[in-house]
Structure 1
């Protein structure tokens, strides 16, 4: 739930990037950070394992302007996608306001996407959150691999596997090339803000 400080007139929104391991979550944040780093004073924190995978989170706050007289600050996180880091994923999801699910478009990662979404539902349920009731955007990442001859899933399959019931906004993307990264996060932030706007008196 967004932290609302009525004294300072500030709202802090927590947006978490989730998805299977090696799906492109950290690459998304690195691209966003490179685009807006001139506007923020803090650095992005990235803690990685020996295998160069995100172990805990990337933290990226930036200001969005004002809504109903409140300044909005967004904090972006990623969670580790590997199965063994579920406790960390659950911890980072505490207090989440919106989610970007970064799916891996490679054919051989299809089951990883599905199991990762199921895990997300379980972890949200731990905090009594129904995934259908939280702002959510899907990003179908790594679409650029098709030009390299690597088999990728078609959009219809990804939608059927992940989004047939939720009907959330979705984007095709290449986080590595920066394609549709900014539109993805902008959409996620906008629907998250709509979700909390009515709570501001």
Structure 2
């Protein structure tokens, strides 16, 4: 996180992590399409011929209260990492300074081991950066719920209840579960940053008001709490109430 109290500006970095072809890039493209044009930046994508993300995508979102000269500006940069094993060093580089992570898992039963390997890779890369996965705000999304031969809802619910991270279900190609995962992650990331930096006092905005302002700026006024808590499991279902 980068803070500029003089300019009342906060910059947050969120990273979408997961195995190759799990839908990380699809999530960013859908998120871009589902947000107001005047509150989103240019989506930058670099792909190989087989449509796999080679480097990263970046989606800057800027929020500022209308007609409020003393309002807070927030820039959220959302990155994806390449899922292929050969790009481990790039994944570690993109993870540097992440304020929150969305792990995008593939719901297909055949991808179970790839999901597990990618999660272990995430844990290892964070350790290389001197961080523990337990100290980074994290949400899990089971994507591709629209495909056949996937883990059942009951199986995912059972997995979710075993862990501390909230689990979201999605079909990103259809835009389903994309906003929910994003706002769930933004909620948790802001809560951690607030706890560590006393942002409520310094910026004059609490977690619930912050999340609602972000949702309104992106074209989803009044939906912040419902979106961020549309999950299964987790040590809590969002902060904003």
Asked if residue 190 in structure 1 is aligned to residue 190 in structure 2, the reply is no
The structure-2 alpha-carbon separation of the partners of 1:45 and 1:163, relative to structure 1 and needing over 3 Å to count, comes to: farther
Match of 1:179 among 176, 179, 182: 176
1:79-124 per-residue CA deviation (whole Å, 9 max, x = no partner) reads: 0111111111000000000011110001110000000000000111
Deviation, 1:63, is 2.1
CA contact (8 A) 1:114 1:162 kept: no
- Partners of 1:159 and 1:92 lie apart in 2 by 30
Deviation, 1:155, is 4.1
- Partners of 2:8 and 2:123 lie apart in 1 by 32
- Partners of 1:102 and 1:159 lie apart in 2 by 16
Deviation, 1:49, is 1.4
- Partners of 1:128 and 1:69 lie apart in 2 by 35
**RMSD of aligned alpha carbons:** 2.0
Unaligned runs of 5+ in 1: none
Asked if residue 31 in structure 1 is aligned to residue 33 in structure 2, the reply is no
CA contact (8 A) 1:117 1:162 kept: no
- Partners of 1:44 and 1:100 lie apart in 2 by 18
- Partners of 1:170 and 1:141 lie apart in 2 by 10
- Partners of 1:187 and 1:90 lie apart in 2 by 23
TM-score by length of 2: 0.75
The structure-2 alpha-carbon separation of the partners of 1:81 and 1:138, relative to structure 1 and needing over 3 Å to count, comes to: same
- Partners of 1:19 and 1:163 lie apart in 2 by 20
The higher relative CO (CA closer than 8 Å, separation ≥ 6) is in 1
Greater fraction strand: 1
Deviation, 1:194, is 1.1
CA contact (8 A) 1:114 1:161 kept: no
Asked if residue 138 in structure 1 is aligned to residue 140 in structure 2, the reply is yes
TM-score by length of 1: 0.89
Deviation, 1:159, is 6.0
- Partners of 1:77 and 1:168 lie apart in 2 by 20
User: How many residues are matched?
Assistant: 194
